[in-house]
Chains A and B, each alone.
Chain A
Amino acid sequence: MMATATAFAPATGLMDALQVTLLLLVAAGATAVVLVRERVTQVLVLSAYGLLLALLFLAFQAPDVTLSELTVGSVLLPAVILLTLAKVRKREE
């Protein structure tokens, strides 16, 4: 379990750069999700945002959370929203 122990020490160099980059990308992604107004496009952006979050968790050495976020955030949540949109749209017609 040495990997987990060293995770508590401040990361240096390349890892730092990766973490900062991903943090900025996640901030940009979250903003993009809010700013996109077209619903289906928004779901796709949300899915990409889920992928970014998963990468962020991986860079912070939390592979367990990465797996959950990858499946729930970038696959299942968008799928569920798309299905709901399909249902709502049908009712609107």
Chain B
Amino acid sequence: MTPPVRRWVFLVGAAGLAAFYLFGLSGLPGFGHYPGPYGFILNRVAVPQTNATGVVSAVNFEYRGFDTVGEEFILFAAVAGMAVVLRHLRGEHEGRQPLDEASDRDLPPTSDAARMVALLFTGPIVLIGWWLVSHAQASPSGGFQGGVVIATGFVLLYLSGEFRVFHRLGPADVAAAVEAVGAGGFVGTGLAAVAMNLPYLKNFLPLGTVPGAVSSSGTIALISFFVGLEVAAAFILVVGELLKQTLLVRGKKR
């Protein structure tokens, strides 16, 4: 194809895309105007039905709980796939690259400032993550957000130069087991409802008396806890695998 022809093909394609795009935009509801009944209905019934004042969590973990199971397993499958791709290959071994290091020199130490900040923040960040996981039913938060925040606490440990602590506190085996418990707990909570002759993921636990209390909302809080476990472990695994990769050296081909 010569450049002029190519340009014409592009222009025709772009014009078609623009036409369909504008056509699609013209059918959208006005900015800030929500047309459906679903949100308004939920706003009215969610708190009386579930005792969860965090209605988004009620939607995620109850009304649309099955969708969230799917999302959960997207992450689960992604991490499993990553662990498989990044496994130790034959001829790879842990070690330092000999090229960038003189034999009498050690790796440059982490600066005291970075160390201080990282160590100071690790505890509060894990606490905030835990708060987010355990308050999904009360305020805007949830297992996913909280889980990721907890995982960033572990990343901070690594930033503080405590690579070995990172691996001791978040060893791959334990993280993998915790991830499995989290994912399995979510599915199991749904199956427990089925065992009681209820629909899958139906809320079967007592809802508590105070809407928005930590002890309220039955399975919503429980599922948020499981999701928190799964997500925190998943991200610790991802970061751990990648960190290990940076330490791996590929041996000579035999």
Cβ-defined contact, B32 with A64, below 8 A: no
Cβ-defined contact, B246 with A76, below 8 A: no
Q: Could you tell me the distance between the alpha carbons of A79 and B148 in the complex, rounded to whole angstroms?
A: 13
Q: Could you tell me the distance between the alpha carbons of A86 and B158 in the complex, rounded to whole angstroms?
A: 15
15 contacts between A and B (CB under 8 A): A1-B55, A8-B34, A8-B39, A10-B33, A64-B140, A64-B145, A67-B145, A67-B149, A71-B145, A71-B152, A75-B152, A79-B239, A83-B239, A83-B242, A90-B246
Q: A68-B148, A71-B152 are in contact. Are A9 and B32 (CB under 8 A)?
A: yes
**Number of residues in A with C-beta < 8 Å to the partner?**
24
Q: Could you tell me the distance between the alpha carbons of A85 and B141 in the complex, rounded to whole angstroms?
A: 32
Residues of B contacting A75 in the complex (Cβ-Cβ under 8 angstroms): 152, 155
Residue from A8, A79, A87 within 8 A of B245 (CB atoms): A87
Best-buried of A5, A71, A83, A87 by chain B (most CB within 10 Å)? A71
Residue from B30, B145, B242 within 8 A of A87 (CB atoms): B242
Residues of A contacting B222 in the complex (Cβ-Cβ under 8 angstroms): none
**Is A36 an interface position by the 8 A CB rule?**
no
Shortest C-beta distance, A2 to chain B (Å), equals 9
Q: A67-B132, A67-B145, A75-B152 are in contact. Are A80 and B32 (CB under 8 A)?
A: no
Residues of B contacting A83 in the complex (Cβ-Cβ under 8 angstroms): 239, 242-243, 245-246
Interface residues on B, range: 35 or more
* B residues adjacent to A (C-beta < 8 A): 30-34, 39-40, 43, 46-47, 53, 55-57, 97, 99-100, 132, 140-142, 144-145, 148-149, 151-152, 155, 235, 238-239, 242-243, 245-246, 250
Q: A91-B250, A93-B97 are in contact. Are A72 and B148 (CB under 8 A)?
A: yes
Residues of A contacting B243 in the complex (Cβ-Cβ under 8 angstroms): 83
Q: What is the chain A residue whose CB lies nearest that of B53?
A: A1
Residues of B contacting A1 in the complex (Cβ-Cβ under 8 angstroms): 43, 46-47, 53, 55
Cβ-defined contact, A8 with B33, below 8 A: yes
Q: Could you tell me the distance between the alpha carbons of A11 and B145 in the complex, rounded to whole angstroms?
A: 27
Q: Could you tell me the distance between the alpha carbons of A80 and B79 in the complex, rounded to whole angstroms?
A: 13
Cβ-defined contact, A76 with B43, below 8 A: no
Q: Which of A33-80 contact B (CB under 8 A)?
A: 63-64, 67-68, 71-72, 75-76, 79-80
Residue from A11, A72, A79, A86 within 8 A of B32 (CB atoms): A11
Residues of B contacting A91 in the complex (Cβ-Cβ under 8 angstroms): 250
Q: Could you tell me the distance between the alpha carbons of A76 and B151 in the complex, rounded to whole angstroms?
A: 9
Shortest C-beta distance, B107 to chain A (Å), equals 13
Best-buried of A9, A80, A83 by chain B (most CB within 10 Å)? A83
Residues of A contacting B53 in the complex (Cβ-Cβ under 8 angstroms): 1
Q: What is the chain B residue whose CB lies nearest that of A80?
A: B242
Residues of B contacting A9 in the complex (Cβ-Cβ under 8 angstroms): 32
Residues of A contacting B56 in the complex (Cβ-Cβ under 8 angstroms): 64
Q: Could you tell me the distance between the alpha carbons of A79 and B145 in the complex, rounded to whole angstroms?
A: 17
Q: Could you tell me the distance between the alpha carbons of A11 and B33 in the complex, rounded to whole angstroms?
A: 10
